Amino acid sequence: MAARHSLSKFTQNHCCQLHLRHLSAKPFDSSSSSSAPNTSNSTKLQKETNLGIEEDAAPTSGISRPLSHILKELNKKVPESLLRVRTEPAGFSVKYIPWHVANRIMNLHAPEWSGEVRSITYSADGKSVTVVYRVTLYGTDAEIFRESTGTASVSDSGYGDPVQKAEAMAFRRACARFGLGLHLYHEDIE
């Protein structure tokens, strides 16, 4: 249980405030994000950033919940509006959840989650870096964790440094082991 208290006071307060504002909302309900007619781009972005949740949603229960409830929410299909698509070097497209969206979803459905980098390893030839990341969920009945890896090329000149990219990949994969965005691994992109 010591890891549970490793969150900073700011993070704990932010998670509590976020959760209390949004506890009764249903962010993956398709009617919540498409019900407003002719919204401006900034309003649409705000709704997507808030995962389609109205700011004045009233809390209906405490923060902690049983793990089965948390996992049920994390296993719901993520709306298309929150996904991004990238083209791989081989020429095929891949849908993914950006790390900051995965982070917000985790904060919403599992506000007492924690994450940590377990190791950073450079390949023997120095051309890639691999990060092992652990995500832990805390429920009222138990706590569980999942770990995953992410690897990035050191020579990739895209946005961010290689460790940052590998960490984001490992974080998203560890979240997928709880069911977040798992449906993306089973979809075909044309």
Residues 6 or more apart whose Cβ sits within 8 Å of residue 11: none
What is the percent of the chain where pLDDT is above 90?
A: 55
Q: What domains does the chain contain, in order, with CATH numbers?
A: 2-186 (3.30.390.80)
Encode 31-48: b = buried (16+ Cβ within 10 Å), e = exposed.
ebbeeeeeeeeeeeeebe
pTM of model > 0.75: no
pLDDT digits over 73-118, tens only?
999 999 999 999 988 888 989 899 999 999 999 999 999 999 999 9
pLDDT digits over 60-70, tens only?
445 789 999 99
